[in-house]
C-alpha cells in the first residue's frame, strides 16, 4: 500500500491529509518506510532546533537515495558533490555557512534589485498587449533562473543549457524518476559541475565580484580557502535551492491572488501590502513542502518513538496551516499579523540563505505586474496541476488572460 503522501490526489492537494495528520497522527509513520511525517508547527520547530538529534545528512529529497540509486553526494566517477550546506551538520556546516553567508548580505542582495526590476520589465515587454499567457512558462520560470544565473555569474548566452541543468537538478528532489531519467540527471549534474569548474578557472585568471568570484576569495578563520570541489558543490546547492523554489513562490502567489480577487484589489491599490501578499503565499503554498532529517539516536516526536536512523519529513506545508499558530489558517489574509511565523524557509542553522533574495523577487514581480497590467484574470474553469513531487510544490502551468496598460 502506497502511503497517501505519495498518492496523486495528495500531491495535487495535500492540505486535507495534513489536517488529518496534525489532528490525529502528528508523527505519522509512512506506510512501509522508516519515514515519519511531522506536521504540527511546534514539533517541526523542535526538530529543526535540534540538529544534533535530527541530522541533515539525510536528504534533501524524500526518495532521493532510493530513486537515484546513487546519491549525487556519493563518490562516483567524475565530480563529487561534497556535503557543504543543505545536507551537512555542524561543525563542518558552520564553517561553510560562515563563508557563504558573506555572499548573501543585505547590501549584496540590494545591489541585485535594479537588475531584478529590469529583467521583470523585459519579461512583461514580451507579453502580448492583450491575450493569454502561461504565467509559469512566461514569467515565473524565467525570472528566478535569470536572477540566479546573474547571481552565480553565468552569462546570458549560456542560459538555455543552464536552464536544462537546473530543471534536471530539481527533478531529482522528491520526484519519481525512472532509472533512465536518473542516469540522465546524473549526467546533467556532471556537465553542470564541469561548467562551474571552467567558470572558476576563468575567475582565477580574472577575478570577479560575483558569487563564484567571492567563493574563490573566501578563507575561513584558519585561512584555509575552499577547495574546488567545495566551491562547485556550494554553487550547485545554491542553484538547486534557489531556482525552482522561487518559481513555485511566484506561481503560487499569482494563483492565490487570482483566487482572492478582493485581496488582489487591495494589494494593487495599496502597494505597502505587497510584502504581506508574498508572505501569505509563502505560508499557504510552501514552495518546499517538507525537508528531511535523520534521527541520530532513539528519540521521540509528539510522543511517538522514532528509532535511530529513521528519517523525518518536517512538513512545513502542514505546520504553516496549524491553527495553534494561525487563526483561520486556510485563508489568504493580508492583515494577518504573524504570516512570517511560517516555516517555508526552515528555521535555525539551515534557515534559507536566499530568503531575502526570493522575498525581493516576489515583491518586485508583483509591483511591476500591477504597474504594467491593468487586467489579470484566471479562467474560472482552470484546475491546477502540480508536478509529481511530494517535496516541491510546482504548478505546471497557469493560463491567465492579461491586458497591458497602454504604452
Residues that bind ligand HEM (CB under 6 A): 56, 85-86, 97, 148, 151, 237-238, 241-242, 245-246, 249, 287-288, 291, 344-346, 350, 352-354, 357-358
Nearer to ligand HEM, 199 or 350 (CB): 350
Q: By the 8 A CB rule, do 185 and 168 touch?
A: yes
Burial 264-284 (b: 16+ CB within 10 A, else e): beebbeeeebbbbbbbbbbbb
CB of 34 to ligand HEM, least distance (A): 19
Taking the C-alpha atoms of residue 86 and residue 178, their distance in angstroms, rounded to an integer, is: 25
Nearer to ligand HEM, 97 or 372 (CB): 97
Nearer to ligand HEM, 86 or 124 (CB): 86
CB of 235 to ligand HEM, least distance (A): 10
Nearer to ligand HEM, 192 or 288 (CB): 288
Residues contacting residue 12 through CB under 8 Å, at least 6 positions apart: 384, 385, 386
Closest CA to 315 of 53, 7, 3, 35: 35
Taking the C-alpha atoms of residue 315 and residue 69, their distance in angstroms, rounded to an integer, is: 25
Residues contacting residue 165 through CB under 8 Å, at least 6 positions apart: 188, 189, 191, 192, 195, 239
Closest CA to 240 of 327, 158, 167, 149: 167
Strands, sheet with 35-38, edge to edge from the N-terminal-most edge strand: 27-29, 35-38, 311-315, 290-295, 54-55
CB of 200 to ligand HEM, least distance (A): 17
CB of 60 to ligand HEM, least distance (A): 6
Dihedral angle over CA of 273, 274, 280, 282, nearest 10: -160
Beta bridge partners of 304: 301
CB of 51 to ligand HEM, least distance (A): 9
Nearer to ligand HEM, 364 or 402 (CB): 364
CB of 332 to ligand HEM, least distance (A): 17
Nearer to ligand HEM, 21 or 86 (CB): 86
CB of 346 to ligand HEM, least distance (A): 3
Taking the C-alpha atoms of residue 37 and residue 332, their distance in angstroms, rounded to an integer, is: 25
Q: Assign 375 to helix, strand or coil.
A: strand
Nearer to ligand HEM, 174 or 242 (CB): 242
CB of 85 to ligand HEM, least distance (A): 4
Nearer to ligand HEM, 65 or 404 (CB): 65
Residues contacting residue 77 through CB under 8 Å, at least 6 positions apart: none
Amino acid at each position: 500500500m502506497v502511503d497517501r503522501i505519495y498518492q496523486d490526489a495528495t500531491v495535487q492537494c495535500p492540505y486535507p491529509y495534513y489536517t488529518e495528520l496534525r489532528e490525529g497522527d502528528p508523527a505519522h509513520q509512512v506506510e512501509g518506510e522508516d519515514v515519519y511525517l511531522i506536521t504540527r508547527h511546534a514539533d517541526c520547530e523542535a526538530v529543526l532546533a535540534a540538529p544534533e538529534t535530527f541530522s541533515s545528512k539525510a536528504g534533501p529529497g524524500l526518495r532521493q537515495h532510493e530513486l537515484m540509486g546513487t546519491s549525487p553526494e556519493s563518490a562516483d566517477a567524475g565530480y563529487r558533490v561534497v556535503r557543504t550546506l543543505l545536507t551537512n551538520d555542524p561543525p563542518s556546516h558552520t564553517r561553510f555557512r560562515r563563508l557563504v553567508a558573506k555572499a548573501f548580505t543585505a547590501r549584496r542582495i540590494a545591489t541585485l534589485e535594479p537588475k531584478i526590476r529590469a529583467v521583470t520589465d523585459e519579461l512583461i515587454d514580451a507579453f502580448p498587449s492583450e491575450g493569454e499567457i502561461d504565467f509559469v512558462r512566461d514569467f515565473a520560470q524565467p525570472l528566478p533562473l535569470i536572477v540566479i544565473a546573474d547571481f552565480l555569474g553565468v552569462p546570458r548566452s549560456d542560459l538555455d543549457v543552464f536552464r536544462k541543468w537546473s530543471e534536471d537538478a530539481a527533478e531529482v528532489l522528491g520526484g519519481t524518476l525512472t532509472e533512465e531519467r536518473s542516469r540522465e540527471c546524473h549526467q546533467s549534474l556532471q556537465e553542470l559541475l564541469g561548467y562551474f569548474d571552467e567558470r572558476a578557472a576563468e575567475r582565477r585568471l580574472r577575478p570577479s565580484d560575483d558569487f563564484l568570484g567571492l567563493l574563490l576569495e573566501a578563507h575561513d578563520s584558519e585561512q584555509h580557502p575552499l577547495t574546488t570541489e567545495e566551491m562547485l558543490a556550494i554553487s550547485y546547492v545554491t542553484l538547486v535551492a534557489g531556482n525552482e523554489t522561487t518559481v513555485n513562490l511566484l506561481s503560487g502567489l499569482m494563483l492565490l491572488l487570482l483566487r482572492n480577487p478582493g485581496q488582489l484589489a487591495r494589494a494593487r491599490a495599496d502597494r505597502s501590502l505587497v510584502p504581506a501578499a508574498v508572505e501569505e503565499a509563502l505560508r499557504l503554498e510552501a514552495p518546499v513542502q517538507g525537508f528531511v532529517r535523520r534521527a541520530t539516536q532513539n528519540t521521540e516526536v509528539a510522543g511517538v518513538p522514532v528509532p535511530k536512523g529513521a528519517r523525518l519529513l518536517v512538513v512545513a506545508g502542514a505546520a504553516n496551516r496549524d491553527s495553534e499558530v494561525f487563526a483561520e489558517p486556510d485563508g489568504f489574509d493580508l492583515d494577518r499579523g504573524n504570516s512570517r511565523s511560517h516555516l517555508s524557509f526552515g528555521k535555525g542553522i539551515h534557515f534559507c540563505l536566499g530568503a531575502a533574495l526570493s522575498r525581493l523577487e516576489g515583491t518586485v514581480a508583483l509591483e511591476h505586474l500591477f504597474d504594467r497590467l491593468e487586467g489579470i484574470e484566471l479562467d474560472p474553469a482552470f484546475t491546477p496541476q502540480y508536478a509529481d513531487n511530494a517535496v516541491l510544490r510546482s504548478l505546471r502551468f497557469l493560463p491567465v488572460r492579461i491586458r497591458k496598460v497602454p504604452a
